Amino acid sequence: MPSAEEDAMSRTLIHPVGCWALTALLALSLALTAGCSSKAGKARYATPATGSNCFAKAVPTTGEGGLAWGDTLSIARHKSMNNCMRYASRSGGTPRTCQVVMAKCKN
Q: Tens digit of pLDDT for each residue in 67-101? A: 999 999 999 999 999 999 999 989 888 999 999 99
Q: Tens digit of pLDDT for each residue in 17-62? A: 666 666 776 666 666 566 555 555 444 433 333 678 999 999 999 9
Pick 5 or 107 by higher pLDDT.
107
Q: Tell me, what's the pLDDT at 5?
A: 60
Q: Tell me, what's the pLDDT at 59?
A: 95
Paired with 57 in beta bridges are 67, 102
| 2, 19, 22, 33 from 27: Cα distances, Å | 36, 12, 9, 10
Confidence band of 10 (pLDDT split at 50, 70, 90): low
- State the DSSP code for 97: G
| 6, 8, 19, 52 from 16: Cα distances, Å | 16, 13, 5, 66
Q: Tell me, what's the pLDDT at 106?
A: 86
The CA distance from 10 to 3, in Å, is 11
